[in-house]
Structure 1
């Protein structure tokens, strides 16, 4: 299988980290979605990453869809999205919560990349406030279980690690003192190869 995408994209990183945690091998093919790439348009007319090309040449797009597919590979007992019940909904719910952090951080970055005279300070402030609101909610809502969905690591944990490391990369600020439980959870996640080994090039 080949995974097409940027090494700095959090959407690509969550697929990479998930595949590594699940033990699914793939070939990484770097594609920059900000460049006009005939190859990428051929793979996904929307020009977005990630794209997963299967061994038979068929294509999957959109990160959660790709993740759902990857979780069907290998031993079912090692699945990172529980098959049913509360654990499944907890894993997917925490995926959504972590995705909200990424969405706010990405929107802030994109606004700040516009020419200075076209930037909207109110939009930047709103995204920062949205990020803070979600972060506070996550701190209050973290379960006391070893992992998000119980005793085993799941998609929710991986996404939380990806989201918080993306924060360090694109929106660095001192959030940890006010969120000690979440900071402790991040230290635990950072020790896992799936998070540690998917850092953007030159960033640690």
Structure 2
């Protein structure tokens, strides 16, 4: 199977790390939706990263759906089985994905839209949503930290990928002093092999 997309995408990186944690080897083809648009369009007309090409040529898109398929293949899950623990993990994952989405929106607004037509109220709204996602994550980790015993689950993967990505594309929006629990967990996750083997740049 082949994973299409750049690892500086939090969604592509999330899939790549999850695959490693599940023991699934994916070939990686770093195709950019911007610099290699026509090439990506030939692979997937929707031009959406990540794209997973299965061995039979079928394609899957959307990181969450791809991870669901990989879990089915492996017979493992990166989510806890107990309902209460699963709800908490899903809550953290949802916040992490929201942070990724808002960081992407903010990056696009700042870097793709000409400055003279940027709409400041929209920028401030997205900045507020991004801060709200990280604030909720910080409060949850303060209440109950994620384990740092060498095992990675999907909530930790998504949270750390979101924080690192935001620090890469809109670094003014994160502050380790304001979000110490997130920063601490991300530093731990980034030190693990699954993260080290999938660098953002």
- Structure 1 unaligned segments of length 5 or more: list them: none
Question: In the superposition, relative to structure 1, how do residues 146 and 120 fare at CA in structure 2: closer, same or farther (>3 Å)?
Answer: closer
Query: Does the CA-based 8 Å contact 1:111-1:123 persist in structure 2?
Result: no
In structure 2, the residue matched to 1:62 is 62
Please report how far the alpha carbon of residue 83 of structure 1 lies from its aligned counterpart in structure 2 after TM superposition: 4.4
> 2:47 and 2:146 mapped to 1: Cα distance?
39
1:117-196 residue pairs with structure 2 within 5 A? 117-142=116-141, 143-147=143-147, 153-173=152-172, 175-196=175-196
Using the alignment, how far apart are the partners of 2:190 and 2:169 within structure 1?
A: 17
CA distance in 1, matches of 2:42, 2:195: 30
**Residues 139 and 182 of structure 1 are in contact (CA less than 8 Å); yes or no, is this contact kept in structure 2?**
yes
SS in 2 for 1:71: helix
Provide the C-alpha distance between the structure 1 equivalents of 2:162 and 2:193, rounded to a whole number of angstroms: 16
**TM alignment of 1:1-204, pairs within 5 A:** 1-35=1-35, 37-74=37-74, 76=76, 79-83=77-81, 85-113=83-111, 114-142=113-141, 143-147=143-147, 153-173=152-172, 175-201=175-201
In 2: Cα distance, 1:106 partner to 1:146 partner: 25
| Post-superposition offset of 1:67 | 0.6
- Please say if residues 71 and 80 of structure 1, whose CA atoms lie closer than 8 Å, have aligned partners that are also in contact: yes
Normalising by structure 1, what TM-score? 0.86
User: Could you say what the CA RMSD is over the residues aligned between the two structures, in angstroms?
Assistant: 2.4
Structure 2 unaligned segments of length 5 or more: list them: none
